[in-house]
Structure 1
Amino acid sequence: MAGSRLPRQLFLQGVAAVFLFAFASLYTQIPGLYGPEGILPARRTLRPQGKGRWKQLWETPTLLWEAPLLGLDTAQGLELLSLLGALLALGALLLHQLRHPLVYLLLWASYLSAYQVGQVFLYFQCPHLPLRDSVPAHACLLVCPPAARLAAQAQRGGHLCHRDRSAPSVLRSHSPPAPGCLLLPAWPKVLLAVLSLLLELAVYGLLAYGTGRCFGLEVDWKQRTVHSKTSECQPGAQRAEAGPSLLTPPPSTAFTFHQFSQWLKTVTLPTMWLGAASLAWELLTALWRWTHVRGWLQKFCAAVQLSIFGTATVALFTVSLVPYSYMEPSTHGRLWTGAHRLFGTVEHLQLANSYGLFRRMTGLGGRPEVVLEGSYDGHHWTEIEFMYKPGNVSRAPPIVAPHQPRLDWQMWFAALGPHTHSPWFTSLVLRLLQGKEPVIRLIQNHAPSYPFHQQPPTYVRAQRYKYWFSPPGEQGQWWRRQWVEEFFPPVSLGDPTLDALLRQFGLQDKSPPRARSSSNALTQALHWVRKQLSPLEAPVLLWGLLGTVGAIRVTQALLGPRSSPRAKEEKHRPAPREHVVAASKPASPAPSTSSGSQTPRRKKQPPPAGPTS
């Protein structure tokens, strides 16, 4: 099991890093998104409905139900949860002792709690990553240690589980898993390991070749671009509308939509059976190892562990089949009804969900973008530029990773349809007319960069544009854009149109938030932390965290205890079989002695002399 220790630790550190950036990025945006003056106040999502405590917690599993017990409102509880989650993830990233199942369970529960009140800003793609990645992290922490103990017990009971060290160190992780292969000499194991590596490389090469072949991809090394021959990627109307394009006309179509759908129908169900067969093989392998455990107590404990983790693994696999089959409707309809019921029972826990690329990528005929405008008189309009989304055609696209600007991201989704498909946009317009500072900081963290920082605009409207990257060599402009239509009509405070939209979407504040005492020590501490961190832009804060982690890890590597590779090898090397056999034999009784006689001791014979010349 020593060969899996390093990748296991790297994976757990990677999951901790994902949680760290997710919590830190969310924390910087809580006041503008979920605060009392935010776009979608979180307090609206947690309203007791007369249900029992446990039923309420099961339907909406979030720790924020307990925020009032600490004297905090929902948004303040979310801030506290994000800070604690970021600190816990930072600890798990730096300290080996904190990479414990309980720590990752707390991280998962904390982010699930935030997800329950995150509404539309946490419902798409990237925000699901921490919830998805934490499930295999728990599998690494909970399943691997029992497997290691099973292997160690089986190693004491028989030689079939003895770790193979005849293969080179680089190839040990690729040694054949079949138990019979462990009995082979050294050279067949090395040969099989090399062949497995070559097979993997060949599969990756075939996948790359097949992708380029099916989608008709061509590389233009002069312009450093990739062209596609498929007809869906080159609509003539969109090309004419977009003007000159770098892409060449399609000479042929690699496949039709009907052919692609038929291919999906052919491969979806067999891949499910392939996954089930792989899972069955792993379970049978674990059962085979269990049969070699010596001692009834050890065997009973191993059986309990195998039963629990085996059942949980089968349940998670069954749940995952439902979102996996979304891509092919006929297979989804023929799926076992028990899998649908099980998925529906645990769907709100986000244990498994679908994730995939768009079947037709947007932006080929121009990237749709919504541009907000404000005015004091209704005649002269000034654009409101965001920090991260496209707006000013002369501004280069910023690098924001690992930050996730959720408002800018949702602005792009809003541009894909009418504003009525994005009810939160009406609330955004209302907050800009009211001049709410937390929302303005989502748009521009530096107050003078916001054109209406001295006085809120009297009117706000929105226009829809299509953006393209400017051709290579064009100086001073990164984008080219074309006006499409009016996205949101001009409105002002008290406008009947605005009030009707707020009533339609249930966004009117029917009752003001209850004022909570600011003398609470916890509230004051949260306010102080927010005051210290608010001047920093979110990408700067996250990159600062990343640099801090890197500096601490380098310091740990320089000041930590050093051990030579030979010492590590000796540490993890199993004891020779002769010693194991000798230790398993009962000790022979000592010879009895009497006062009248004494058994002479046999002198140790010197080693035979070597040949002499």
Structure 2
Amino acid sequence: MTTLGTNRIKRCILYGQLIILLFAFTSIYPQIHGLFGERGLLPVSPMLECEEESIFQCRLPLLRFICNLFHLSPSVGLQLFSLIGVCLSALAIHKPECQNLVTFLTLYFLYRTIYEAGGVFMYYQWDAFLLESTVYVAVLAWFDDGPADSVALFSIVALLVRVIFMTGASKLLSKCPAWWNLTALDYHFESQPLPTPFSWYAHHFPPFFKQLATIAIYYFEIILPPLFLIPVIHVRYVVFFCQILLMILTMLTGNNGFFNYNIIILLVSLLETPRVPVGAPLLSALVFGKLGYDLAHRMPVKLVTTEGSLPSFVLNLSYDTFQKLAIYYIDMIIILTALMFSIINAYTVLKGLGSQARVSKIVHVAFVAACVLLLNIYGSVPLLRMDEKLAQRTNENPMIMSYYKIANSWSVANPYGTYRHMTGQHGRPEIVIEGAPNFDGPWKEIEFKAKPGSLSRRPEFVSPHHPRLDAQMYYAAEGTYQQNPFFLSLVYHLMQNTTEVVSLIENYPFKNRSEPMQFVRAKLYMYHFTDIGDKNWWRRDFQEEYMPPFNKGNQALMKFLVENKIINNKKSQFVNGPLGKGMKQWHRLTGGADLIAFFISVMILLMVEDKTKRLGRWYFGGVAGAMAAVCTHPLDLLKVQLQTQQQGKLTIPQLSLKIYKNDGFFAFYNGVSASVLRQLTYSTTRFGIYETVKKQLPQDKPLPFYQKALLAGFAGACGGIVGTPGDLVNVRMQNDSKLPPAERRNYKHAIDGLVRITREEGFMKMFNGCTMATSRAILMTIGQLSFYDQIKQTLISTGVAEDNLQTHFASSISAASVATVMTQPLDVMKTRMMNAAPGEFKGILDCFMFTAKLGPMGFFKGFIPAWARLAPHTVLTFIFFEQLRLNFGYSPLPKA
């Protein structure tokens, strides 16, 4: 078994960490104003008050400097940091030469400023881990590849050992009865801060299975981590796949921000290990034998069987015994880390630095060795402090503790341990906020974006995004409103209808200024997952009044907010200048979507720069199709609504005006997530098959057209089948605004549509109209891919044109015209069948006869908007595809 090369693993980790940082900056950007802006829940402005002469003696010195330099308010300054983080991450992803020490340290300081400014909204384990791991990756990045990369990769392995072991051992060291009784997962899926739809299904697994899963967690998080340090490829592959499995299952059953994604990226470092050709099988056998011994003797589990009931497990282990086991493992981790660091560092010095070594390599090795040594020393302190006996070792050394406190304050030596105390044995407490225009009502509930509220609402899957207000509401429910200043700030801003705060809410029913919220109250409910077969996702029981009714002019509330500097009537020293006012106004108009537009613009500009010829990857077609779908979605929506009219009275302008008047501008983007999902399934499949198979055919001469058409037809058939569920949701979401409000399906997004169709109508309903969709996909793919290839080939071979953008445009728009003519009749019938009520059509023939009765042009209803949508979509798809190929493709290997 061979290992991946050090350079390849290094590149993978650098790219992965940049993607995680990109997610982190993108996630926090639209929440900054509402969470800690000047009119947010916990303003950051009071943190900047400082009378010291030096800016570095104050809190948030970097933010103060930027705000003074560019005349920005603190919240706009933080948004500028997010924009710089997005831009720098995107640039480094596209330009490998930018993946260096300076880039990662810059990203670290940008995110650390946001982390410190965010207060309770940012104090999550994944934020601390992102900062710590970014420092480790910065050491790995350096400015060039070199022999010290192995030492830096080992430091990442040591970090993973500590993090995963602390996460597992803390569960039992906490003395939580649920973890010791192996019943933690009976409550965890329901009571975690932000459950996912898969949490509902996992919650209903048999208790025997959940006990077995708990034992597996102990094994994966306590027994396996020390084996990360053993440089045997067979061992590392086993522990690598075990941890990947654990991370994927954790991601699916809980919204833990970007923590699990970050762990997965860093786990790649396990695949870099020296080969041990002599005695490797014997050493592997010894290690796996030790694993079996540890499983049987160090974590003994007893199987209990009772007649008439399912078997169960009991952890046959005392706390004192486990405490000794934890000390043994902590000592082993520290000793193995020190031993392996010494060996790898010595090997690097002897092997990588010869007599002809350049000074830059010597500096690189010295820098990495010093950084890794310090990071491992101070990173071991939280590991030792897990146990009271071991903590005495560090407390007795004041020098280590003083430096550890500094390292901890910079988030490079953090303690870890999620869900160490399992709550929720009686359900999950949830705060339900209600508002009313009058004390007598009517009281209306306020729905949040991700936290449980409406009983019929499916749990949201939002990871790697982290809605921080929703998560903080979970912790507020475990205390009182007096203990949570942000909650009192929230109810105040809800009564004031503060735009920045209301943007964090899913459904605010008092946007109408004629009936503003004058009173607010909060109730505490105990939520539970419903039983199998129930139409709702949740059931709830009222517990108590969480907060009594407050009116809009409550003086006690105002006094509290003023005393805690949440509301500050004093004029701030930080005032927005032209740049700050422009950024704030643009953000207010776009509602946070400007970051997405900014990111796409940056990526397009970067893509234009590189013109090196490369081969496309199999998924480029799906990505290009999804990007084009976002651009052409309004035209696609008009096409669907024109096709489903029973009587063609409305023209395109009339229909556009009707949609705008009835539902507003954003109604034109109703169902855009389904369009993206459809392209990511349908176009990825057909482009992937077509391009992959075409590359395997002889390249000495162009393929004849009939072979291209046959290949495109086969690829289109596969894509049509795979893309039918997304197509069904797409049609329904686009046509929803046309229905009366009482009959609208109101899918929140594409995944919600798939889940609800499966749940309410059955799994097979997702493939309703599959035959029609597949037939259309065959014709569409022939018209687009094969005709595009053939037209482009003809234009170039005859000397009429060259292989450039103009040729691509002409070829794609011609192919779109052919595809529209070929597919329009099937497209009309497919749309009718997918949107039909159950039993309206007996089959394809019935739909055909119904359409024929409308006249010959009934098969081409909506032809103009169909072409107007398909032509730009096709042109954009092929342009994006070509640019993705040129800028992110791979160079073909030279022939032997």
- Give the alignment's TM-score, normalised by structure 2: 0.50
Q: 1:414 aligns with which of 473, 476, 500?
A: 476
Q: SS in structure 1 opposite 2:503?
A: helix
C-alpha spacing 1:141/1:252, structure 2 compared with 1 (3 Å): closer
1:443-522 to 2 correspondences below 5 Å: 443-444=505-506, 449-455=507-513, 456-474=516-534, 476-502=535-561, 505-513=564-572, 516=575, 520-521=578-579
**Deviation of residue 82 (structure 1)?**
0.4
Tell me if 1:379 matches 2:708.
Answer: no
C-alpha spacing 1:533/1:462, structure 2 compared with 1 (3 Å): closer
Whole-angstrom distance in 2 between the partners of 1:423 and 1:198: 57
Tell me if 1:79 matches 2:79.
Answer: yes
Asked if structure 2 preserves the Cα contact closer than 8 Å seen for 1:321 and 1:339, the reply is: no
**Deviation of residue 286 (structure 1)?**
2.6
Correspondence for 1:55: 57
Q: SS in structure 1 opposite 2:147?
A: helix
Correspondence for 1:114: 114
Q: SS in structure 2 opposite 1:399?
A: coil
Correspondence for 2:24: 22
**Deviation of residue 334 (structure 1)?**
1.4
Q: 1:314 aligns with which of 366, 373, 388?
A: 373
Q: SS in structure 1 opposite 2:369?
A: helix
1:182-261 to 2 correspondences below 5 Å: 189=277, 214=301, 252-261=314-323
Whole-angstrom distance in 1 between the partners of 2:24 and 2:495: 30
**Deviation of residue 74 (structure 1)?**
0.7
Asked if structure 2 preserves the Cα contact closer than 8 Å seen for 1:367 and 1:467, the reply is: yes
**Deviation of residue 533 (structure 1)?**
4.8
C-alpha spacing 1:65/1:148, structure 2 compared with 1 (3 Å): closer
C-alpha spacing 1:177/1:398, structure 2 compared with 1 (3 Å): closer
Q: SS in structure 2 opposite 1:487?
A: strand
Asked if structure 2 preserves the Cα contact closer than 8 Å seen for 1:268 and 1:328, the reply is: no
C-alpha spacing 1:565/1:101, structure 2 compared with 1 (3 Å): farther
Asked if structure 2 preserves the Cα contact closer than 8 Å seen for 1:150 and 1:293, the reply is: no
C-alpha spacing 1:353/1:252, structure 2 compared with 1 (3 Å): closer
**Deviation of residue 311 (structure 1)?**
1.8
Whole-angstrom distance in 2 between the partners of 1:352 and 1:305: 23
Q: SS in structure 2 opposite 1:454?
A: coil
**Deviation of residue 19 (structure 1)?**
0.7
Tell me if 1:360 matches 2:418.
Answer: no
Letter in 2 for 1:23: F
Tell me if 1:285 matches 2:330.
Answer: no
Gaps of 5+ in 1: 152-169, 182-188, 219-228, 230-246, 568-613
Whole-angstrom distance in 2 between the partners of 1:316 and 1:24: 28
**Deviation of residue 83 (structure 1)?**
0.9
Whole-angstrom distance in 1 between the partners of 2:414 and 2:50: 28
Select the structure that is richer in helix: 2
CA RMSD of aligned residues (A): 4.0
Q: SS in structure 1 opposite 2:81?
A: helix
Correspondence for 1:37: 39
C-alpha spacing 1:511/1:522, structure 2 compared with 1 (3 Å): closer
Asked if structure 1 preserves the Cα contact closer than 8 Å seen for 2:621 and 2:881, the reply is: no
**Deviation of residue 150 (structure 1)?**
11
Whole-angstrom distance in 2 between the partners of 1:497 and 1:425: 15
Whole-angstrom distance in 2 between the partners of 1:10 and 1:337: 39
Correspondence for 1:531: 589
**Deviation of residue 97 (structure 1)?**
2.5
C-alpha spacing 1:107/1:537, structure 2 compared with 1 (3 Å): closer
**Deviation of residue 469 (structure 1)?**
0.8
Q: SS in structure 2 opposite 1:32?
A: helix
Asked if structure 2 preserves the Cα contact closer than 8 Å seen for 1:323 and 1:354, the reply is: yes
Asked if structure 1 preserves the Cα contact closer than 8 Å seen for 2:429 and 2:474, the reply is: yes
**Deviation of residue 137 (structure 1)?**
1.2
Whole-angstrom distance in 2 between the partners of 1:8 and 1:42: 37
Whole-angstrom distance in 2 between the partners of 1:550 and 1:203: 46
CA displacement 1:81-114 (0-9 Å, x = unmatched): 1011112112222332222222112111111121
Asked if structure 1 preserves the Cα contact closer than 8 Å seen for 2:150 and 2:344, the reply is: no
Asked if structure 1 preserves the Cα contact closer than 8 Å seen for 2:67 and 2:574, the reply is: no
Letter in 2 for 1:435: N
Letter in 2 for 1:437: T
Correspondence for 2:891: 562
Tell me if 1:441 matches 2:538.
Answer: no
Asked if structure 2 preserves the Cα contact closer than 8 Å seen for 1:469 and 1:479, the reply is: yes
Correspondence for 2:385: 326
Whole-angstrom distance in 2 between the partners of 1:279 and 1:436: 54
Asked if structure 2 preserves the Cα contact closer than 8 Å seen for 1:175 and 1:193, the reply is: no
Asked if structure 1 preserves the Cα contact closer than 8 Å seen for 2:587 and 2:594, the reply is: no
Asked if structure 1 preserves the Cα contact closer than 8 Å seen for 2:148 and 2:368, the reply is: no
Whole-angstrom distance in 1 between the partners of 2:589 and 2:302: 51
**Deviation of residue 349 (structure 1)?**
1.6
Asked if structure 1 preserves the Cα contact closer than 8 Å seen for 2:9 and 2:272, the reply is: no
CA displacement 1:416-457 (0-9 Å, x = unmatched): 22223322111111111211011011012xxxx321112432
Q: SS in structure 2 opposite 1:483?
A: strand
**Deviation of residue 198 (structure 1)?**
7.0
CA displacement 1:265-294 (0-9 Å, x = unmatched): 44333432332222222222233336x511
C-alpha spacing 1:374/1:533, structure 2 compared with 1 (3 Å): closer
Tell me if 1:93 matches 2:93.
Answer: yes
Asked if structure 2 preserves the Cα contact closer than 8 Å seen for 1:150 and 1:302, the reply is: no
Gaps of 5+ in 2: 152-236, 239-269, 604-618, 628-879
Letter in 2 for 1:18: I
**Deviation of residue 208 (structure 1)?**
8.1
Q: SS in structure 1 opposite 2:78?
A: helix
**Deviation of residue 502 (structure 1)?**
2.8
Whole-angstrom distance in 2 between the partners of 1:214 and 1:323: 29
C-alpha spacing 1:52/1:174, structure 2 compared with 1 (3 Å): closer
**Deviation of residue 339 (structure 1)?**
2.1
C-alpha spacing 1:204/1:46, structure 2 compared with 1 (3 Å): farther
Asked if structure 2 preserves the Cα contact closer than 8 Å seen for 1:20 and 1:89, the reply is: yes
Asked if structure 2 preserves the Cα contact closer than 8 Å seen for 1:61 and 1:112, the reply is: no
Q: 1:338 aligns with which of 387, 391, 399?
A: 399
**Deviation of residue 355 (structure 1)?**
1.6
Q: SS in structure 2 opposite 1:327?
A: coil
CA displacement 1:292-347 (0-9 Å, x = unmatched): 5114xx36554443333222211111111222233212212212432211111233
Tell me if 1:430 matches 2:492.
Answer: yes
Whole-angstrom distance in 2 between the partners of 1:368 and 1:281: 52
**Deviation of residue 34 (structure 1)?**
1.9
Asked if structure 1 preserves the Cα contact closer than 8 Å seen for 2:101 and 2:143, the reply is: no
Asked if structure 2 preserves the Cα contact closer than 8 Å seen for 1:372 and 1:460, the reply is: yes
1:571-582 to 2 correspondences below 5 Å: none
Correspondence for 1:370: 431
Whole-angstrom distance in 1 between the partners of 2:540 and 2:42: 31
Tell me if 1:134 matches 2:134.
Answer: yes
Letter in 2 for 1:558: R
CA displacement 1:137-189 (0-9 Å, x = unmatched): 112212972316999xxxxxxxxxxxxxxxxxx99x979738xx6xxxxxxx3
C-alpha spacing 1:104/1:206, structure 2 compared with 1 (3 Å): farther
Correspondence for 1:232: none
Whole-angstrom distance in 2 between the partners of 1:536 and 1:207: 53
Q: SS in structure 1 opposite 2:433?
A: strand
Letter in 1 for 2:520: V
Asked if structure 2 preserves the Cα contact closer than 8 Å seen for 1:111 and 1:130, the reply is: no
Whole-angstrom distance in 1 between the partners of 2:40 and 2:452: 23
C-alpha spacing 1:266/1:209, structure 2 compared with 1 (3 Å): closer
Whole-angstrom distance in 2 between the partners of 1:7 and 1:215: 41
CA displacement 1:28-74 (0-9 Å, x = unmatched): 11111122211111212112222313333xx5453443212112111
**Deviation of residue 500 (structure 1)?**
4.9
